[in-house]
Amino acid sequence: MARYRLSITTCCVLFIFAALLRGQFNDNRRRQDLSPITLPGGSRIEFRSFDSNSIGMPARYSVFLPPSFSKDLNRTYPVIYFLHGLNNDETSWTVERYGSFQDRLEQMILSGKVPEFIMVHPRGDSSFYCNYIDGSKMYEDLIAREFIQFMETSFRARKGRENRAIAGTSMGGYGALKIAMKYPQNYAAVAAHSPILIPGLNPAAVPESMKSSRFYTYFIGMIAPIFGNPIRQDLWNANNPLVLAKKGNLKDLEIYFDYGTDDRYIPTIRLDEGCRELDRILTGSGVSHVFKIHPGEPHGWALIANHLDETLPFLSRTFR
């Protein structure tokens, strides 16, 4: 029975990843006009790139600069690093489809609900914010090392873990938890909305009869550069928040994660079980954290929109 359940679950995982990739380039998920955006209160959003050693090509990103950034040239700022999901990019958080939450962000700053900070959205493609086996693209290194150095030399970003937080949604929620748990010395807080947490040892452990499926081929082709083909258990474990939570020194890391009970990935990848398992692991290890289940709420950006007033203050409470 357990083997049968694993097979059904894995089929659903393969299908859902294929669906996510098919939708990756939908125009309404990404901003086409990359002109800077100036908000009514004086905040600014810019769409840029820099030459990255980690991925061997320009690293694209969008950056939110708070109201005083262009006025007080001696002021420094803390930074929130926000990681997008699989069918999004660095511009998606600004599009109308997802609520254009830059306006709410500025209003929270102007009303004093959160301090002024920089928020940067790096482009992560379909990397799950992991390093490739062959070293050709090192997305984990890009986020955890190169981006921090770049922000602190290019945008008057403050140094020190108390001035950094990391967050994400869906694939980005997975990436934010993974990177924060691997590098707790880099970040004071992490928030993950609808994180892709897959219970079980290995998502590609399917019977031989299933390996001819086009979905299996699609899925393995996507993650093979990261985890190998066949998937190497050591690499999967090294990047799995459910494993990292048992090993890391997380006592000083502020952790928040949530999901909605109407999340479309509950019947397929059992995202709810993965989140509850992470809660059990952290609780059993005595690691303080906030875990919320939102009845009747959906996946991804819609969930973020409903709880921005909770997570931004959580992420910024260590900022001086």
Closest to 317 in 3D by CA, of 173, 175, 164: 164
What does the pLDDT read at residue 191?
Answer: 98
What does the pLDDT read at residue 207?
Answer: 61
Beta strands, E only, the chain: 37-38, 44-52, 57-65, 79-83, 118-122, 164-169, 189-193, 254-260, 290-294
If one counts the domains in the chain, the total is 1
Dig out the tokens for 252 from the structure. Answer: 């000083």
Peptide bond into 230 cis (omega under 30): yes
Instruction: Please provide residue 34's backbone torsions phi and psi, each rounded to the nearest 5 degrees.
Output: -100, 20
Scanning 239-296, the segments in alpha helix (DSSP H) are 241-247, 266-269, 271-284
What does the pLDDT read at residue 92?
Answer: 94
* pLDDT tens sequence for the chain (320 residues): 444 444 444 454 444 444 444 444 446 888 888 999 999 999 999 999 999 999 999 999 999 999 999 999 999 999 999 999 988 999 999 998 887 789 999 999 999 999 999 999 999 999 999 999 999 999 999 999 999 999 999 999 999 999 999 999 999 999 999 999 999 999 999 999 999 998 887 776 666 666 676 656 776 778 889 999 888 999 999 999 999 999 878 999 999 999 999 999 898 788 999 999 999 999 999 999 999 999 999 999 999 999 999 999 999 999 97
User: What does DSSP say about strands 118-122 and 189-193: parallel, antiparallel, or unpaired?
Assistant: unpaired
Domain encompassing residue 132: 2-316
165: β partners: 80, 189
CATH of the domain at 39: 3.40.50.1820
| Tens digit of each residue's pLDDT (9 = 90 or more) over 151-184 | 999 999 999 999 999 999 999 999 999 999 999 9
User: What does DSSP say about strands 118-122 and 79-83: parallel, antiparallel, or unpaired?
Assistant: parallel
Is 224 within 8 Å of 258 (Cβ atoms)?
A: no
Residues 237 and 308: their CA atoms lie apart, in Å, by: 31
Residues 174 and 55: their CA atoms lie apart, in Å, by: 20
Residues 124 and 309: their CA atoms lie apart, in Å, by: 25
What does the pLDDT read at residue 216?
Answer: 66
Q: How far is CA 189 from CA 51, 115, 153, 193, in A?
A: 28, 15, 22, 14
Buried/exposed 262-281: b ≥16 CB within 10 Å, e otherwise:
ebebbebbbbbebbbbbbeb
What does the pLDDT read at residue 209?
Answer: 66
What does the pLDDT read at residue 200?
Answer: 80
51 contacts: CB under 8 Å, gap ≥ 6: 57, 58, 59
Instruction: Please provide residue 88's backbone torsions phi and psi, each rounded to the nearest 5 degrees.
Output: -125, 180
H helix or E strand, kind and range, residue 12:
helix 2-22
Terminal CA-CA length for the chain: 53
Residues 219 and 238: their CA atoms lie apart, in Å, by: 19
Residues 264 and 193: their CA atoms lie apart, in Å, by: 14
**Residue 96, burial from CB neighbour count under 10 angstroms (0-12, 13-18, 19+):** exposed
What does the pLDDT read at residue 43?
Answer: 98
pTM over 0.75: yes
